[in-house]
Amino acid sequence: MSTPHIRIGTRSSQLALWQARWVAAELERLGAQVEIIEITTQGDRQQSGPIVELGLQGVFTKEIQAAVLRSEVDLAVHSLKDLPTETVWGLTLAAVPERENCCDAIVSASGEKLAALASGAIVGTGSLRRQAQLRAMRPDINVRGIRGNVDTRLSKLTTGEYDAIILASAGLNRLGLAEKVSEELAPPRMLPAPGQGTLGIECRLADELLLKFVAQIQHPDTRASTDAERSMLALLHAGCSAPVGAWGRIENGKLRLDGLVASLDGTQILRAAASGSLDDPLQLGRTVAEELLAQGAQQLIDAARNS
């Protein structure tokens, strides 16, 4: 193959740029020439108001996908958890590199762990999934919405606006902020979002040479785990902002998936888990989704959507 020249489209947040540069370095290592092009998305322009109210799914990904489709860039680097499960016509998820860390983490102003936070402490997270699971563990704390990139959120701890916030460990690790973590809320204590801690690389379906080249940075175990998580999410018709958690991983040579759907107040938590073949992650996702639906998951998802 001649030296491919690849234009990467990315959001311009610090984390997104870090992720794009990481992919660029991997592709360069394989012999590509890479250029990074920054694209502003609707999600970046609207920094105020709850993210849930931005309405349409894919506020962080749509404009980047459009740039790939228009051939302004060749490849999009997404946080897989922000990428809607509905495939955009003409695009394909070309590769999923190795997962960083799937966990959620609590960063508290005092450095204390969740159990040590005072009753009534204010904990910031905009994610309905985190809010619900947090309320289930600590019904006595105040869970409040929060917006902005990682730095903005951390600054709201220093100003005293919040006593603690919840962030993805992966984002903190990538930005060199791992020492900020007061406690990792590892699954099964808190189930992460489908695709959390993982990058998704999207290309034009027709760009066969590039698809083949990019496939080299796929991590098969991560692909199988996240395909199962996303298949479950798709079948729940929940969207990326619903109170839905998923934890896919390889255990004893099998693909295992835990799924969770919660009520916003955390009083109802539905759980299901199953194991299956690494060769059929989509079926495993369906199995777990069907088990959750049989327990009444749709009602909780609809209630969260209309809240």
Ligand X SMILES: NCc1[nH]cc(CCC(=O)O)c1CC(=O)O
* Separation of alpha carbons 184 and 167, rounded Å: 10
- Residue in 11, 81, 249, 286 binding ligand X, rule: CB under 6 A: 81
- Residue in 4, 58, 197, 243 binding ligand X, rule: CB under 6 A: 197
Instruction: Please work out the total of residues on this chain that contact ligand X, with binding judged by CB under 6 A.
Output: 10
**At 114, is the secondary structure helix, strand, or coil?**
helix
- Residue in 63, 82, 229, 258 binding ligand X, rule: CB under 6 A: 82
Q: What angle do CA 264, 268, 270 make, to 5 degrees?
A: 110
* Separation of alpha carbons 160 and 251, rounded Å: 42
Considering the candidates 74, 82, 163, 227, report the single residue annotated as catalytic. 82
Letters for 146-175 (x = contact with ligand X by CB under 6 A, - = none) are ---------------------xx-xx----
Q: Tell me, rounded to whole angstroms, the distance of Cα 283 from its chain centroid.
A: 21
207 has catalytic annotation: no
Task: Write down the least CB distance from residue 265 to ligand X, Å.
Answer: 21
Task: Write down the least CB distance from residue 56 to ligand X, Å.
Answer: 15
Task: Write down the least CB distance from residue 1 to ligand X, Å.
Answer: 30
Closer to ligand X at the Cβ: 146 or 274? 146
**Peptide bond preceding 50 in cis form (omega within 30 of 0):** no
Closest CA to 193 of 138, 255, 134, 260: 260
- Residue in 10, 85, 108, 196 binding ligand X, rule: CB under 6 A: 196
CB neighbourhood size of 33 (10 A) = 12
How many CA atoms within 13 Å lie on the side-chain side of 213? 25
Binding segment (CB under 6 A) for ligand X, from list 2-10, 74-82, 276-284, 292-300: 74-82
Q: Is 133 in the site for ligand X (CB under 6 A)?
A: no
Closest CA to 183 of 193, 169, 162, 173: 169
Active site positions, annotated:
82
- Enumerate binding residues for ligand X (CB under 6 A): 79, 81-82, 167-168, 170-171, 196-198
